[in-house]
Structure formats: C-alpha cells, structure tokens
Structure 1
Amino acid sequence: MSTIKLKGNPIETSGSLPNVGDKAPNFTLTTPEMGSKTLADYKGSRVILNIFPSIDTGTCAQSVRSFNTEASEIENTKVLCISKDLPFAQARFCGAEGIKNVEMLSAFKSDTFGKDYGLNMTSGPLETLLSRCVIVLDENGVVTYTEQVSDIVDEPNYKASLSAILNK
C-alpha cells in the first residue's frame, strides 16, 4: 500500500508500482472500438503507460495532450493512455482534441490491471479509480522507469519519462 494525496489530503493505493527491472504484469484493456489489447500486443516497442483517474479532468487531459505532442516523434515507442473512463468518453476526447499519436485504453472491464500494477485508489473521493502514474517499459516489457505522482492534481514529470525512453 502507498499513500498519495488529493489536494494535500492523504489517499491510499492498493500497492506499489512495479520495480525498475521487473517484467511488467500482463493486462487486457479495452480499446475505443470496444476491442481488447494486451501487453503482448506491444512486444518489440518501447511503451509509456500514462495512467490517470479520468480524462474529464484538466490534469488528466493535459497529460494526454502533452504525451501526444512530446512522444509523437520518438521511434519505436507507443504511448498508452489508461483510465477507467468508458471507451466512448476516451474517443470523444481524442476526437475533440485531435489526439492521434497516443492510444487510449480503458480499464473499466479489468478487475486486475489496477491491482497488478498497485495503483487502484482504495480511499478518498476517487476510490476505485487509478492513481496518476507513468510506467516506462522497454521492448521486452521490462520496467525502466516509474513515477507515482505524489498529488493527483499534479502533472507527471514528462521530461524524466521521455528521458527513460531516449536514454535506453
């Protein structure tokens, strides 16, 4: 269990993020077209998991916009933006914002993603949603960088996560 904050108020999560050097847990998440994607679908590509509570908040939306711009020119890299939002809401946001360089995935049907990655919020007003974090994986699904954002209202450290990709 880890403690993060929401505007300075403590919130508990279901565990800790995977350790650098660990193989990332597999997942099955829902695409905006209601299909499924697994971690194995990205084997051979470097992956940035941009995980957040809801696309309908300013900070979450900004993280998607920032990764859409910042990571768009990095070769062999996929940015997966993951929340428990319905795929329809994710698609609506991307269409309205012109987001084309990231993939949206929903954990709304997954009972295991948040638990396996240690990022379900287990207390506070956002209980059951995913905490804001970034996890970077190499081409073999091995964790090379993690950031659990200490206060949900803050943006992740884009520069550090992109450096983890570029310096690999």
Structure 2
Amino acid sequence: AVHQIALARRHERPLSVLMIDLDRFKRINDTRGHPAGDLVLKAMASAGKHILRQSDIFARLGGEEFAVLLPETDEERAIVIAERLRQAVAKARFEHDWGEQGPIPFTISIGVAPCFKDDAAIEYALKRADRALYDAKQDGRNRVKVWSRMPEAKASGEVRAAG
C-alpha cells in the first residue's frame, strides 16, 4: 500500500480506496453458525477475485470488514468497481448449496474515497472511506456511498439505494 501511494504521488496518478462491510454478518453467524459465516466470507473473497484487477490490493481487516486499494483508479471508476462488487456479492447467495435452511441472503455496504496526493498515509483515505461506509450502513445497507467533503452533499453521494 505504501508503495502504491508513493507511485501515485510521484506520477500524479489517481488512487482510490474502498471500505467494505458484510451486512448483518453477526446475524448470519448467530442464526446459521460459523460454518455458514465462513462460506459467506469465502463468497465475498471469490467475488473480489472475479471483479478486482490483479493490481488491486484486497484485504480482510477483521471480522466482516474488508479494504481495497485501487491503483490507477479515479473516483468515478472506483464507484463502478464498487457497484459491480456489490452486485456480485448479492448474486453469490444463489451460487452455493446452503443446506436445508435455504439460501442465506447477504449483501455488502461499501464506502468509496480518493487518496489525495498530500495524504501522509493510507490511513487518511481509509478513514474517509470508512465515513462513507458508515453512511451506507446508516442509510439502509446494501449500497455504495462516496465520501464527500460537504455534509450537505451526502444525498448526492449515494450511488445505489437498496431495492
């Protein structure tokens, strides 16, 4: 990650980050058990593998939270990638045999933020993406939200509402 930030700065190239949270993951673990939770995590990883590029850095931060570093990606493209990932995860529930209890519906919420050239560390961009993620969760989950400098721009930052 440090190397990617240095490259983006040096060559004045865009860099974006995503913060991702599996919606209601605790409920899945509590009602279906940890093996089901593990399957959900694997489905998330699989979706990431299929949507993200080899140059993207995809990491599980812990629990149900993930981060993605998107080199050479401006905010507009990051939104497209985030939405594709969100849709892929929503479809993943139909691609697995969940046993006799039926499919486990699971979705993700995603916060998108740019990494600015004057950011001293990736943590600044991650905090911005985390704020956008918080807004996505607060606004109903299963959506992509974009970090905005202006609080009143919150409504225009939503990419997709849960349907």
User: Does the alignment reach a TM-score above 0.5?
Assistant: no
Higher strand share: 1
Structure whose CA Rg is larger: 2
Q: Identify which of structures 1 and 2 has the higher relative contact order when contacts are C-alpha pairs closer than 8 Å and 6+ apart.
A: 1
Higher helix share: 2
